[in-house]
Amino acid sequence: MPINPKSKINRIITWLHLWLGLISGIIVVIVSLTGCLFTFQKEITEWVHKKELFITPPPEHAPVLSVEVLTRKAEQVLGPGKPVTYITAYADPRRAWEFMAYKEGDPDAFTFPGEVACYASAFVNPYTGEVTGTIDYMHNFFVIVKYIHWSLYLSTKYGQPIVGWGTLIFVISLITGVVMWFPKRWNKAEKNKSFKVRWKGTWKRLNYDLHNVLGFYVVLIALILGLTGMVYSFSWFSNAVYATASLTTTPPPVPDFRSDSAAAITGMHPMDKALAAARANYPQAKRFLIEPPASPDAPLVVDAYNQHEVYYDVNTLYFDQYSARPLGTDAFANKNNGEKLIYMNYDIHVGAIGGLPGKIIAFLVSLVCASLPITGFIIWRGKKKKRAAPVRPASKRQLVRA
């Protein structure tokens, strides 16, 4: 039901929409534009770094080298002080395996570069051991874009709250904008004004339509993008999403598997045994993420991803780091609805959950979101100038007659 334009509620909504938009505008523009740029980072990265990421397929059934051997080769290239922390093994024989070294820096740093001490990968042919190349993510275009999007290139401690509150304000602005957009009457003229952009109208009219009409068309997806972004910024919001979807406030259990340092290593290296077990359990998996243990009693973890691009459809296996004895499995299918939704959050946020069409939609909606603060500011400036227009000076005749 439309709100009376002269009512107090309407004036409050209009005031909120204006000032919240002005407060969050620059943050929304930056976050939305970086979201646009990052949408197709996978496709562009695979094209730009084809030499590093892809290899000539070996003969059928060619064996891969030991993960331990490949890791040593990668660490030799990465350099001292950069131990491998993540290994991505692909089922696709055309892909080089990625060996990533990630190390946190100063926890009190103000910017992203100070927060991270090391962030680089070596890519290795798993059949020959040849290093196909390296990427220093600290200077990678898309990683810089990602951390501008994440925290304005500040450290998470300082930048994330700014982005989070800016996103929350933007979500409120979207809701108030829909209320303001709602046609006062459902006649032909009002519907044309609300649903159609007058491309041949005046500049002022076109700018208003780009803000008002396009804002309406993207509002649902924009809200989804905003709300999924808030999951990363606020633990209270993430907890609320989990509780709403799972119908419980009880947090999901956290596996606490431990390795037995007294266990003896026999035969294959534990990482090779663990990867072989993961392959046997999930033969349709497209890639496997191996996390070498970070402490003497930590488990060896292998994530089996069932799809090429998305991250939510994953099954996690835990092994003793010394003997590769299976300790347990955390299957996606066994998670409750709250856990599943949280796991799907990233893929929803970037549009990957909808495949290429989903990414295209996320790209276009992010582009429109970036334009809304700009078109809104132009509308506000136009009205302000109109209200502040100087009074025409009295003519000489008027002065004489006064």
Mean pLDDT, to the nearest integer, of 127-141?
A: 96
pLDDT tens digits, 211-230: 999 999 999 999 999 999 99
Mean pLDDT, to the nearest integer, of 114-129?
A: 96
- Residue 128 structure tokens: 């020959």
Q: Residue 80 — very low, low, confident or very high, per pLDDT cuts 50/70/90?
A: very high
Q: Which pLDDT belongs to residue 401? A: 40
Please list the alpha-helical segments (H only) found in 247-336: 270-281
Lowest average pLDDT, out of 6-10, 51-55, 359-363, goes to: 6-10
Assess whether pLDDT exceeds 50 at residue 203. Answer: yes
DSSP tag of 54: B
Whether the full predicted model's pTM is greater than 0.95, yes or no, is no
pLDDT tens digits, 281-316: 999 999 999 999 989 999 999 999 998 789 999 999
Assess whether pLDDT exceeds 80 at residue 15. Answer: yes
Assess whether pLDDT exceeds 70 at residue 393. Answer: no
Q: Residue 324, CB half-sphere, CA atoms under 13 Å: how many?
A: 16
Provide the edge-to-edge strand list for the sheet that holds 97-104.
Answer: 131-136, 116-124, 97-104, 86-90, 287-291, 300-305, 314-319, 326-330
Mean pLDDT, to the nearest integer, of 95-120?
A: 96
Those residues with Cβ within 8 angstroms of residue 155's Cβ, 6 or more apart along the chain or in another chain: 109, 110, 111, 112, 114, 115
Q: Residue 397 — very low, low, confident or very high, per pLDDT cuts 50/70/90?
A: very low
Q: Which pLDDT belongs to residue 253? A: 85
Assess whether pLDDT exceeds 90 at residue 193. Answer: no
| Alpha carbons 98 and 105: distance in angstroms, whole number | 22
Mean pLDDT, to the nearest integer, of 114-143?
A: 96
Q: Which pLDDT belongs to residue 383? A: 73
- Residue 11 structure tokens: 């004036």
pLDDT tens digits, 233-254: 999 999 999 999 999 999 888 8
Lowest average pLDDT, out of 46-60, 173-187, 205-219, goes to: 173-187
Percent over 90 (pLDDT), the chain: 76
